[in-house]
Amino acid sequence: MFGYVKPFSPDLRVRELEGYRAIYCGLCRTLKKEYGIPASLLVNYDMTFAAMVLTEGREECRFSACRCAASPFRKKTCAVINDALRVAAAGTVLTAYRKAQDDLRDESFRKRIVTRLAVPFLKRWSRKAEKRYPELAFETERALSLYEKLEAENCASVDRMLDAVGMGGEALASYAHTARHERAGLLYDAARFMTLADALDDFREDEKRGRFNLLRRKTENYDDAKTFAAGYLAMIAENAEEKLAALSDDPYLPILKNVFSLGMRKSLLETGDPRKKRRKRGYPHVERSL
The CA radius of gyration of the chain, in Å to the nearest whole number, is: 18
Contact by Cβ (8 Å): 195, 235: no
Q: For 85-117, how does the pLDDT look when each residue is reduced to its tens digit (9 = 90+)? A: 999 999 999 999 998 988 887 766 677 788 888
165 within some domain = yes
DSSP state at residue 59:
G
Task: Give residue 37's pLDDT.
Answer: 92
34, 111, 205 from 105: Cα distances, Å: 29, 11, 16
What percentage of the chain has pLDDT greater than the value 90?
A: 68
Contact by Cβ (8 Å): 4, 267: yes
192 within some domain = yes
Element (H, E) at 228: helix 222-245
Angle at alpha carbon of residue 165, lines to 161 and 169, rounded to 5°: 155
Mean pLDDT check: name the lowest of 15-19, 26-30, 79-83, 216-220. Answer: 216-220
289 within some domain = no
Given a cut of 50, whether residue 207 has pLDDT beyond it is: yes
Q: Which of 102, 137, 136 is nearest to 119 (CA)?
A: 102
**Mean pLDDT value across residues 37-41:** 94
Q: For 216-272, how does the pLDDT look when each residue is reduced to its tens digit (9 = 90+)? A: 988 999 999 999 999 999 999 999 998 999 888 888 999 999 999 999 999 999 887
275 within some domain = no
1 within some domain = no
Contact by Cβ (8 Å): 254, 18: no
281 within some domain = no
- How crowded is residue 175: how many other Cβ atoms within 10 Å of its Cβ? 19
Contact by Cβ (8 Å): 161, 151: yes
Mean pLDDT check: name the lowest of 58-67, 208-217, 260-269. Answer: 58-67
286 within some domain = no
User: What is the CATH classification number for the domain harbouring 237?
Assistant: 1.10.600.10
CA atoms of 41 and 129, how far apart (whole Å): 16
Domain of residue 51 covers: 9-270
The domain total for the chain is: 1
279 within some domain = no
Beta bridge partners of 64: 78
